[in-house]
Chain A
Amino acid sequence: MLIFEHSRPGRRNYSQAPITEAEKSNIPKNLLRKSPPLLPEVSEMDTVRHYTRLSQKNFSIDTEFYPLGSCTMKYNPRACNSLAMLPQFLARHPLAPEDTGQGFMACMYELQEILKDVTGMAGVSLTPMAGAQGELIGVMMIRAYHEARGDTQRTEIIIPDAAHGTNPATAVMCGYKVVEIATDKEGDVDMDALKAAVGPQTAGLMLTNPSTLGVFEKNVSEMSRIVHEAGGLLYYDGANLNAVLGKVKPGDMGFDVIHINLHKTFSTPHGGGGPGAAPVGVAERLLPYLPIPTVAKTEKGDYRWLTEKDLPKSIGRLSAHMGNAGVLLRAYIYVRLLGFDGMHRISEFATLNANYLMARLSEAGFEIAYPTRRASHEFIVTLKEIKDRTGVTAMNLAKRLLDKGYHAPTTYFPILVPECLLIEPAETESKETLDAFVAAMKEILVEIKEQPDMVKGAPHNMPLRKLDDVKAARELDLTWKPAS
């Protein structure tokens, strides 16, 4: 049932709004609303019950193992939430004077410094509100850099075919043409394709390392040299930073600009699809272009915002205020809980879990897409052979996993591997959980052999069976309408 179907005319919550309606008004009649909006008229208990029940129809990290590749579904510590929601932090207005927010700003300044260290970059701005906005800001800085040098012939951004869809979409939003390059048999970027693509028209290369194929680009230093010699810059998509945190710094790999998905590596909640936060880090030559505001520490030891006046070459402002401040606070608390040695452990145990799970699934009879490689924090299983033989697809297997109480891995991404499952078991998962997941995968393998049609019809144990996406797109029903 929808919340609107619980609604009864005249029912309301007396404690939640002013008791009487204020009559004092100077709004001209022609500007007044004529009919009330379609909001439900329900009691507080109706509301609490309805949304509690809805929550129970979700899979979540708190209730299920969530091996979703490239999403880093790790445990979100409760302290990060409760301390970021201290009442003084929640009450602080974004335009309140700096001296009334020194506690908050100290956290932001320290987070900037920590992220500089972790990434090996010279400067950081915390403002981007999601990975895709971090990318947009990063590519805007690349563009600003070339333009400031009068180097306006650079019209192309090179992107490997394994990249997230946001990479090419971002390059286009920045007015660039996308040149896609292929991946070789080992899962690395095809170096000949890169050499052929690079030239005086190259503005930059966007790279995820470890890549979305779950392998470390061994030739990254050579790639960096090739792109830099042609006058282009290197962009690091930090989606997979969890795999190398404390082991290798993007700055040391030669990257000029990076975004860090705090909702992945720094454990801020995914929240059913946001809010994220994706600070950008830059090398020395891009420092003047960082988006505003950033936080500076003065000689007296207090904190202030840097704006256009301090950073006249900045690419500007990309959010109304200071980005997703509350998310940044959660990430800060997380880093302080873990400390410097905890940072190394993230990548170590994420990598241990991934390689263990890869070994066990391989042993169980699943085909690993890049069997000669180490898994980074994730790896790919391909069901191509199974599909050719039985007709069962990666999506069928994914839905069958839901029946067994596991969230599905990422399916059909990266698109260059047919019938793929991208599997990422984050460092917070125990060996028992991984073993139980392997057991479920083995069961499905038997089911595929014995009852392939049952697997093709999955899910069977969820509140709903497979939903009709085609109908949803053809007969658009995007809002509820009362029966008339």
Chain B
Amino acid sequence: MPFIPHTEEDIAEMLAKIGANSIEELFDEIPPALKSGKLTRVPAGLTEMEITRLMLERAQADGFYSNFIGAGAYEHHIPAAVWQITTRGEFYSSYTPYQAEASQGTLQLLYEFQTMMASLTGMDVSNASLYDGASALAEAALMAVRQHKTSRRILIPKTAHPNYRKVLRAIVSNQQIEVVEIPFCEESGQVLVEQIEQFGQEEFAALVIPQPNFFGVLEQVDALTNWAHQKNALVIAVVNPMSLALLTPPGEWGDRGADIAVGEGQPLGIPLSSGGPYFGFMTCKDELVRQMPGRIIGRTVDLDNKPGFVLTLQAREQHIRRSKATSNICTNQGLMVTAATIYMSLLGPDGLRRVAAQSHANTLSLVEKLEKLPGVKKTFSAPFFHEAAITLPGPVAEILQALKAQHILGGLSLDEFYPGQGNTLLVCATETKTKADLDRYVDVLGQILKK
């Protein structure tokens, strides 16, 4: 019996102690009419050897590609130590650290993570993570509405990740919160204060500012932050944590800094893995900490005055406050945060900066090379981080098919998210791409465009 250690003798002794004749008798409180028959769509069990063979076949069928897709999930080198340590049984198979004295490893690691994320984003405090970047944005919007008190209106630019906008809408609409999408400048690819002025005439709780935005473009964060603050609204920054090794952290945007920063933690040591598990992060200013959802770790002392760590501010959470909690969230993404903390330790401030700088430089080189191909040009004029929109002379969908035949995933067609943008390609080259990779991409694309 896979994973069940009981011998026949054990079973007999246990039933005798219970005073039952059979295991089936232990289910005698279930009304007989409800008992189900055999499972018909679950196949017979496999041995470890058989399942290994099956999974290897499926993995090999999927194969490897030279990947230039970004769009919210980024391929970075992950040092070997990250997942070897993360998958140690003591991290992998432990529970949420409710019993602090038996969970100091996880608790201290989370405290270190909070310190790293608060510093990376330039904010005062961090929670111990949320599900993913998109749901973290939705939680930030709910938090901003709780804090603002008089407005239930959130402004989010169309330059924010389209799927984040969908998730935001799906979650906050349950609480009669209005999500207003605001336009961007089609020439620069940025949100411009003068173009959004009209949206600020009515009160709003928060402005969402993505940096870099979905097109990879860098927004004018100082001007936007000050604009929202002048209107008495909060600023929610949606940031790529890798970019913050180079870019101004949200806590320093404008005159007062953003109020809440959220984002997708995946670039920090988490594999692409078909979209998950990743983790969302959230940091904020001190005065907002009691509105923050999710687990928060605090440092304290034990009876002997020795320093230690506990889950704190639990009075915000569902297991204490039930219907009055700040969120229904229960778990965080503990294991992913374990990996991210080890990743940030291994890279350090300098390593992280090198990864970010190389990713930026590679994308810049790729764009320059692509612009030399006939009919190819940058879509937007503003500077970008490590991803860029490119206008091609024909439909992107067909070109991507042809690239795929050469084992290159050439990027994302913007048409799916921005109807009418069928000739626009979103492309990303991280530090994992060599000069040879970039040259091959440009060569193959050149050949395809000639046809």
Contacts of A428 in B (CB 8 A): 3-5
A249 to B35, CA, bound (A): 8
Q: Please determine whether B116 and A37 come into contact, CB atoms closer than 8 angstroms.
A: yes
Question: Does A56 belong to the interface (CB within 8 Å)?
Answer: yes
Contacts of A462 in B (CB 8 A): 101-102
Interface centre among A25, A88, A168, A178 (most CB of B within 10 A): A88
Cβ contact of B91, chosen from A175, A272, A321, A465, cutoff 8 A: A272
Closest partner residue, chain B, to A42 (CB atom): B345
Contacts of B60 in A (CB 8 A): 88, 103
Cβ contact of A39, chosen from B119, B124, B273, cutoff 8 A: B119
A273 to B93, CA, bound (A): 10
Question: Does B419 belong to the interface (CB within 8 Å)?
Answer: no
Question: Does A225 belong to the interface (CB within 8 Å)?
Answer: no
Contacts of A402 in B (CB 8 A): 99, 101-102
Closest partner residue, chain A, to B108 (CB atom): A54
Question: Does A196 belong to the interface (CB within 8 Å)?
Answer: no
Min distance, Cβ A87 to any Cβ of chain B, angstroms: 7
Closest partner residue, chain B, to A136 (CB atom): B328
Question: Does B62 belong to the interface (CB within 8 Å)?
Answer: yes
Min distance, Cβ B177 to any Cβ of chain A, angstroms: 10
Given contacts A342-B2, A360-B17, contact A92 B135 (CB under 8 A): no
Question: Does B391 belong to the interface (CB within 8 Å)?
Answer: no
Question: Does B170 belong to the interface (CB within 8 Å)?
Answer: yes
Q: Which one of B19-27, B229-237, B369-377 is at the A interface? A: B19-27
Question: Does B147 belong to the interface (CB within 8 Å)?
Answer: no
Contacts of A135 in B (CB 8 A): 328
Interface centre among A91, A244, A325 (most CB of B within 10 A): A91
Question: Does B140 belong to the interface (CB within 8 Å)?
Answer: no
Q: Please determine whether B332 and A274 come into contact, CB atoms closer than 8 angstroms.
A: yes
> Interface majority SS on A: helix, strand, loop or mixed?
loop
Q: Which one of A228-236, A310-318, A386-394 is at the B interface? A: A310-318
Interface centre among B40, B166, B176 (most CB of A within 10 A): B166
Question: Does B1 belong to the interface (CB within 8 Å)?
Answer: yes
Contacts of A44 in B (CB 8 A): 79, 81, 346
Interface flags, A206-246, vs B, CB<8A=1, else 0: 00000000011010110000000000000000000000101
Question: Does A484 belong to the interface (CB within 8 Å)?
Answer: no
Q: Please determine whether A337 and B1 come into contact, CB atoms closer than 8 angstroms.
A: no
Q: Please determine whether A51 and B342 come into contact, CB atoms closer than 8 angstroms.
A: yes
Min distance, Cβ A418 to any Cβ of chain B, angstroms: 17
Min distance, Cβ A333 to any Cβ of chain B, angstroms: 6
Question: Does B59 belong to the interface (CB within 8 Å)?
Answer: yes
Question: Does B442 belong to the interface (CB within 8 Å)?
Answer: no
Min distance, Cβ A336 to any Cβ of chain B, angstroms: 5
Contacts of B115 in A (CB 8 A): 2, 4, 38, 479-480
Contacts of A336 in B (CB 8 A): 43, 45-46, 51, 54
Question: Does B383 belong to the interface (CB within 8 Å)?
Answer: yes
Min distance, Cβ A383 to any Cβ of chain B, angstroms: 17
Q: Please determine whether A66 and B95 come into contact, CB atoms closer than 8 angstroms.
A: yes
Contacts of B312 in A (CB 8 A): 469, 472-473, 476, 478
Contacts of A475 in B (CB 8 A): 300
> What size tier do the contact residues of chain A reach?
35 or more
Interface flags, B365-405, vs A, CB<8A=1, else 0: 10000000000000000011100000000000000100010
Cβ contact of B167, chosen from A16, A17, A171, A318, cutoff 8 A: A318
Closest partner residue, chain A, to B76 (CB atom): A17
A432 to B48, CA, bound (A): 26
Given contacts A56-B90, A90-B273, A464-B104, contact A431 B247 (CB under 8 A): no
Min distance, Cβ A460 to any Cβ of chain B, angstroms: 10
Question: Does A205 belong to the interface (CB within 8 Å)?
Answer: no
Interfacial residues of chain B within 323-340, with CB under 8 A of chain A in the complex: 323-325, 327-336, 338
Question: Does B445 belong to the interface (CB within 8 Å)?
Answer: no
A367 to B49, CA, bound (A): 46
Contacts of A24 in B (CB 8 A): 360-361, 364-365
A222 to B360, CA, bound (A): 63
Q: Please determine whether B89 and A47 come into contact, CB atoms closer than 8 angstroms.
A: no
Closest partner residue, chain B, to A246 (CB atom): B39
Q: Please determine whether B218 and A27 come into contact, CB atoms closer than 8 angstroms.
A: yes
Closest partner residue, chain A, to B112 (CB atom): A3
Question: Does B436 belong to the interface (CB within 8 Å)?
Answer: no
Contacts of B6 in A (CB 8 A): 349, 352, 430-431
**Cβ contacts A to B, 7 pairs, < 8 Å:** A60-B92, A91-B75, A92-B62, A96-B409, A140-B170, A322-B275, A407-B99
10 A-B pairs with least C-beta separation: A339-B45, A321-B275, A62-B89, A271-B335, A103-B58, A94-B275, A22-B361, A275-B277, A17-B351, A274-B331
